[in-house]
Amino acid sequence: MPRMFLNGTAMSGGADHHLVGDAPLVAHTRTAPRYRFHAVDGRYPALEEGGDAAVEGEVYEMTYAQLREVLLPGEPDGLELGVVELADGSGSLAMVLRADHPAPRTDISELASWRAYRGAS
């Protein structure tokens, strides 16, 4: 089953966690320290390669049908499906910033956590 790294509103306790359904939580973890982390238009987080942030998140095992029919259609248009490196060196599917997305974004790499950003804003 594919693994999906979540770092925003679909994490446990988040407004969109219902999109995860009954998918099992595999790990609370971080990415490898090679990303920049943004708040896009203040509404959702986005990962981008090329920094040194180890971003907090959760990994779930999800079926392809659940990804295709439930989770991915609920994602904002500024994100696209990609692969990230996790702290343990393994890879996972994740939503990453679309390179050509024009929405304003704030770099929140120093926090490396959507929950910390939302608590601070």
pLDDT digits 0-9 by tens, 81-121: 999 999 999 999 999 999 888 889 999 999 999 999 999 65
pLDDT at position 121, please?
A: 58
Contacts of 46 (CB under 8 A, 6+ apart): 37, 38, 39, 40, 78, 79, 95, 96, 97, 101, 105
Question: CB count, 10 Å around CB of 109?
Answer: 17
Helix (H) or strand (E) holding 114: helix 114-120
pLDDT at position 120, please?
A: 67
pLDDT at position 89, please?
A: 98
Q: How far apart are CA 47 and CA 104, in angstroms?
A: 14
3-120 has which CATH code?
3.10.490.10
5-19 core/surface letters (b: 16 or more CB in 10 A; e: else): bbbbbbbeebeeeeb
Question: CB count, 10 Å around CB of 59?
Answer: 20
pLDDT digits 0-9 by tens, 16-70: 999 999 999 999 999 999 999 999 998 999 999 999 999 999 999 999 999 999 9
